[in-house]
Amino acid sequence: MAKAARTRSRSASARKRGRSRPSSSGHSGGGMGAKRFKELFDGIVENVATVIKGKDDIIRLALVAMICEGHILFEDVPGTGKTVLARALSQSMNATNSRIQCTPDMLPADITGSSIYDQRKGKFEFQQGPAFANVLLSDEVNRATPKTQSALLEAMAERRVTADGVTYNLPRPFFVLATQNPIELAGTFPLPEAQLDRFLFKLSMGYLERDAEVEVMFENQVQLSIEQLGSVVDTRTVQAMISYATTVNVAPDVAYYIVDLVQATRDEPALSLGASPRASISLLRAARALAASDGRTDVYPDDVRAVLIPIMAHRVFLNPDAVLRGENIEGVMERIVGRVKPPSGAAAATGSSGRRGSSRKAVRAAAE
């Protein structure tokens, strides 16, 4: 398919490196519980971290998005590791992955697939497009036309595509990592607010720390280190993790706290557009996954606050007066958090200190 660079890969069990674990360590997915979920989650993060240096916070948020069956929009400069992150996640799960390089002349069929005439059989047969993968990287999504963008976003929302009147289900899990470049905006088609709302998180990888960049430089001097990355789980286990995350308890007070935060954005004077009910759903799902990653069976207000900015960064918009005052989304959201009272009984409840530290760093990275 023209203009769509497809790279499908499945990790071979013989290729192991760094912290990769044997297949027997977690491939069954049976007997999923809080402790088991945390072990699997940490194992995937550690495996991906062998090739993505110094970005554990982003790796954890990316995995949270996958567990929520959500998608991520990265707004970042080229060369910061977004493609490697997508490949590392898929290889860690022994999953398929595809990459699309978006261009203005790309057609929807270049993403979803199209019917090709088979001369031997004398009929048209549907040929799957890059969307039929567990992890799909859509590079520079804002360079595709709105018609092509809508085809991708339909696949993200419905997890199926329709061609010639026939509906085809996409593989599960299905995770889209889309990128857009904050520079060189000439000839691009910015995603409208309604389409941005389809992404669970908006994040930024950012540049590496000095020591991490030296390590990456030497590890990739001969060949990309990602080529040797092995799997630690399989897609069936990931599906079990997705199902388990939906069972994490959410107290009524915490549920109302989520809604109060979202509704407060609609009354904030500095915002021209508040968050929709989809933001409430996203906060609930992400907080559950984050609590499960810490080995807990209950969601705390800390979990909600930890994912608040990555979820809200692309859903709320400053009005012109706030922009002239030099305000930013992070500052406005912190003001809203300070104004909305958390549940008194759960306010003091916190997870492990290590998780809280990672979450705070992730929020800072997402807001950059």
Per-residue pLDDT reduced to its tens digit, 188-229: 888 888 888 889 999 998 888 899 889 888 888 877 888 888
In tens, the pLDDT along 87-97 reads 999 999 999 99
Using the predicted structure, report yes or no on whether residue 336 has a pLDDT greater than 90: yes
Nearest to 312 by CA among 337, 327, 335, 330: 330
Amino acid at 84: V
Question: What is the Cα–Cα distance from 356 to 85, expressed in whole angstroms?
Answer: 22
Among all chains, which residue has been given the structure tokens 């062998």? 50
In the DSSP assignment, the letter for residue 298 is: B
What pLDDT, on a 0 to 100 scale, did the predictor assign at position 110? 92
Nearest to 126 by CA among 169, 87, 92: 169
Using the predicted structure, report yes or no on whether residue 361 has a pLDDT greater than 50: no
In tens, the pLDDT along 239-252 reads 999 999 999 999 99
In tens, the pLDDT along 299-333 reads 999 999 999 999 999 999 999 999 999 999 999 99
Q: Which residues contact 40 (CB under 8 A, 6 or more apart)?
A: 26, 232, 233, 237, 241
Q: Beginning with the edge strand found earlier in the chain, give each strand of the sheet holding 135-139 in spatial order.
A: 97-101, 135-139, 175-180, 72-75, 201-203
**Domains of the chain, with CATH numbers?**
23-241 (3.40.50.300), 248-367 (1.10.8.80)
Identify whether the C-beta of residue 182 lies closer than 8 Å to the C-beta of residue 228: no
Question: What is the Cα–Cα distance from 16 to 280, expressed in whole angstroms?
Answer: 40
Band of the pLDDT at 30, cuts 50, 70, 90?
A: low
Give the pLDDT mean for 256-260. 96
Question: What is the Cα–Cα distance from 314 to 154, expressed in whole angstroms?
Answer: 19
Q: Which residues contact 181 (CB under 8 A, 6 or more apart)?
A: 75, 76, 77, 78, 140, 142
Residue 249 tokens read as 């308890």
Taking the CA atoms of 256, 260, 263 and 265 in sequence, report the sign of the dihedral they define: negative
Lowest mean pLDDT among 4-8, 171-175, 263-267: 4-8
Identify whether the C-beta of residue 71 lies closer than 8 Å to the C-beta of residue 199: yes
Looking at every residue in the chain, the average pLDDT score rounds to 84
In tens, the pLDDT along 84-134 reads 999 999 999 999 999 999 999 999 999 999 888 888 888 888 999 999 999
What pLDDT, on a 0 to 100 scale, did the predictor assign at position 331? 94
Question: What is the Cα–Cα distance from 237 to 181, expressed in whole angstroms?
Answer: 34
Give the Å distances, CA to CA, from 359 to 97, 98, 220, 316, 341.
27, 29, 29, 21, 20
What pLDDT, on a 0 to 100 scale, did the predictor assign at position 324? 94
What pLDDT, on a 0 to 100 scale, did the predictor assign at position 345? 63
